Structure 1
Amino acid sequence: MRRWIAGALAVSALTVGAPAYAQVKPTDPAGALSKQFVAGQGVRLTEKTRTWIGRDEYIGSVRQGVIGFGAKGVAAVENTRTPVLTAELRKELKESAAKNEDVADSLDLLTERLYLISKGERLYLNGGLLSDLLPDGKSWIGMPGHPYSAAYGDQLINVFEPATLRHLLATAGGRRGDQYRGSTTFAQLYKISPSFREQGGRAPEGAAARTVVSWRITLDARKLVKRVAVSWTMPVTKKISMRGETETRYSDWGTPVNITAPPADQVADIKEVNDRSFAPPSPIDRDYVSVPPGDDGNTE
């Protein structure tokens, strides 16, 4: 007991007698993030996503763009999202396209780059599969959204939410310098992250709620996030699971950013688009979009 008391007194004496600068607390990553919330400034992002259904790799994507800040956080986002097909999948689709003109048209749309802008309470999309839905004279689809909407959909973790970042780092399962790692679930992310709630629409249930998201977050010298990597696996059937991996890198914190919404006369509202009928050719719809495989892998 005397040793513990003596040790405590020694530490106390060292603390009191130390220079003032020794008592300064290290920068809190969430606090460092909040200081970046300055109108007209932002950060650049690059991102790569891969997905698998069973053992077969599905369509992935690469994303590049900028995120603009305001006093309260993300104010706007502008980026491009380019689908990435494996050589095997591309070959299979091209073989189908050679036999069917409609499939060929949809293949072009499926692999087309998508442009995204989110600003205020609107999300704007241009390109991709949505191109065929636009009325004449329109080049963008507008829909309800949030300032950060264009940055998410592949990446599940929004590190621009200070409370979300603080929670993840506080519950990290391991740390090596400025590299943190841990895990959470869809259900937990839904509770703590507004942007995750927006992506999901409603609270995950059953197997989806229990889906584990493994994550790694790396900070730079200023305690700002420079890399976020996540991976997750969700059962689709009793025998087949879907797996996803996304790596996002952030750079040039404080870079000047000026993001504007598309001209109003070039935007078709999503309600207008929904009135137009659009059905992808059955080979793409059956194999790659809407119908999950059965336990035997059959998509019929």
Structure 2
Amino acid sequence: MKRRIGFAALALVMSVPAAALPASAQAASPDPARAVERQFRPGRGVELTEVARSSAGDEPSSFTFRSRGRIQFGSPGPVASDSTLRMDPTPEARKNLENDLGEGFLSGLFDPEDRIVVKNRLHTSGGVYGSVLPAGKSWLRMKQPARATDLGIQPINVFDPAVLRSLLKDSSGKPFSGGRFYRGTVSRAELRRTAGTTHGSTPAAGGKAKISWRLWTDAAGLPSRMSTVESVGKGKISMTFRTDTRYTGWGSAVVVLPPPADQVIDEEDLPGDLPEYKEPVDTLSSLSRRG
């Protein structure tokens, strides 16, 4: 049973969609939604660092996900990003996966994966796909459309002003270290209903699941940290996800370029099939696409 929970945890974490960040400010304090919208200038952006941990039932953390990257803005919102994602299991979680899927299945699964999203296309290098690329190619361009915000694990996307306004509509927050602190709960269904057009709609999954969130903003109203806790299921088959994202360098110069064309191969042009674990890995990739 434990082995099944271990793999279920992996698949579920991967499928977790990303939503959007808080917004709604009071008259006396900066409006986070407007503060974020004012950042949408060509050639400017922000940096993100993120740590997320998953646990099954009463067990301690079984997987830790780490992401670091940058988002480039344009006048409509995020237009490109580059990032690195890594997943580290506990020894027990790794053993459970090996027992479930076989040691060969894990080849590259825990290697760092670099990603570049430009013009709604995801380019990936390393990770589980590193071993399937032909000689002379170091980047795989996926055929599934991607968004510039597809680089973190955070289920609440702070770059969608519509979501921010919805999250903060009934909260004035409290003063905190030169900025403000907000907190509340939201369901994925609510996030889907309020998601704006900056990132597209949120994937339809776990609609009833409640997300407890905490948001810290700086003196200008810009998000500096978002922390969330989400539990899915009950009892021994429950899963809990804790995600902490930090935002720095708002307004800094960010220009994301696609990989060199001669180093890229399209998914459909691969000489063989992608690994049979493509589906769960794509969902893992969608950890970064949850925005």
Q: Does residue 1:255 correspond to 2:257, yes or no?
A: no
**Residue in 2 that maps onto 1:245:** 242
Q: Secondary structure at the match of 1:126?
A: strand
Cα 1:165–1:277 shift into 2, 3 Å: closer
1:36 aligns with 2:33: no
- Residue of structure 2 equivalent to 1:21: none
**Does the 8 A contact of 1:220 with 1:226 survive in 2?**
yes
Structure with a larger share of its residues in helix: 1
Q: Distance in 1 between matches of 2:129 and 2:168?
A: 38
Q: Deviations over 1:41-75 (max 9, x none)?
A: 11111100101122333222111111111111111
Q: Give 3-state SS (helix, strand or coil) of 1:132's partner.
A: helix
Match of 1:59 among 55, 58, 63: 63
Q: Give the C-alpha shift of residue 222 in structure 1.
A: 1.0
Asked if 2 retains the 8 angstrom alpha-carbon contact of 1:68 and 1:257, the reply is: yes
Distance 1:260 1:230, change over 3 A: same
> Aligned-pair distance for 1:277?
5.1
Q: Which amino acid aligns with 1:78?
A: D
Rounded Cα–Cα distance in structure 1 between residues aligned with 2:88 and 2:35: 34
Q: Which residue in the other structure is 1:70 paired with?
A: 74
Q: CA deviation at 1:232?
A: 0.6
2:251 & 2:149 partners in 1: Cα distance?
A: 20
Report how far residue 268 of structure 1 moved: 2.4
For CA contacts below 8 A with separation 6 or more, give which structure has more relative contact order. 2
Counterpart in the other structure of 2:219: 221
Give the TM-score of the pair, scaled to structure 1: 0.72
Find the aligned partners of 1:250 and 1:60 in 2 and give their Cα distance: 19
Out of 16, 40, 53, which is 1:50 matched to?
53
2:181 equivalent to 1:179: yes
In structure 2, the residue matched to 1:80 is: 84
CA contact (8 A) 1:116 1:150 kept: no
In structure 2, relative to structure 1, the CA distance for the partners of 1:188 and 1:150 (3 Å cut) is same
How far does residue 107 in structure 1 lie from its aligned partner after superposition?
4.1
Task: Return the alpha-carbon distance in structure 2 between the equivalents of residues 246 and 273 of structure 1.
Answer: 35
The number of equivalent residue pairs is 244
Task: Choose 123-132 or 180-189, whichever is displaced more.
Answer: 123-132
Deviation, structure 1 residue 263: 2.0
Question: Runs of 5+ in structure 1 lacking a partner?
Answer: 1-23, 290-300
What is the rounded CA distance, in whole Å, between the counterparts of 1:188 and 1:273 in structure 2? 40
Counterpart of 2:113 in structure 1 is: 114
d(CA) in 2 for partners of 1:190, 1:196: 9
Aligned residues of 2:117 and 2:147 also touching (Cα < 8 A): yes
Shift of 1:210: 0.6
- Give, in angstroms, the shift of residue 116 of structure 1: 1.1
Output aligned runs, 1:76-155, within 5 Å: 76-89=80-93, 92=95, 103=103, 106-143=105-142, 144-152=144-152, 154-155=153-154
Other-structure match for 1:163: 162
The unaligned stretches of length 5 or more in structure 2 are 1-26, 285-291
Relative to the length of structure 2, the TM-score reads: 0.74
Which SS does the other structure have where 1:254 is aligned? strand
Task: State the alpha-carbon separation in 2 of the partners of residues 27 and 248 from structure 1.
Answer: 21
What residue identity is the alignment partner of 2:44? Q
Does structure 2 conserve the Cα–Cα contact (< 8 Å) formed by 1:232 and 1:244? yes
Rg larger for? 1
Aligned residues of 2:57 and 2:235 also touching (Cα < 8 A): no
Which structure 1 residue ranges, 4+ long, deviate > 6 Å from structure 2?
Answer: none
Instruction: Give 1:271's match in structure 2, choosing from 268, 271, 275.
Output: 268
Sequence identity of aligned pairs in percent?
A: 33
Deviates more, 1:106-115 or 1:188-197: 188-197
- Give the superposition deviation at 1:264: 2.4
Taking only aligned residues, the RMSD between alpha carbons, in angstroms, comes to 2.9
C-alpha displacement of 1:267: 2.1
Secondary structure of the corresponding residue to residue 157 of structure 2: coil
Residues 1:83 and 1:72: Cα distance change in structure 2 (over 3 Å): same
What is the Cα deviation at residue 36 of structure 1? Answer: 1.1
Determine helix, strand or coil for the equivalent of 2:182. Answer: strand
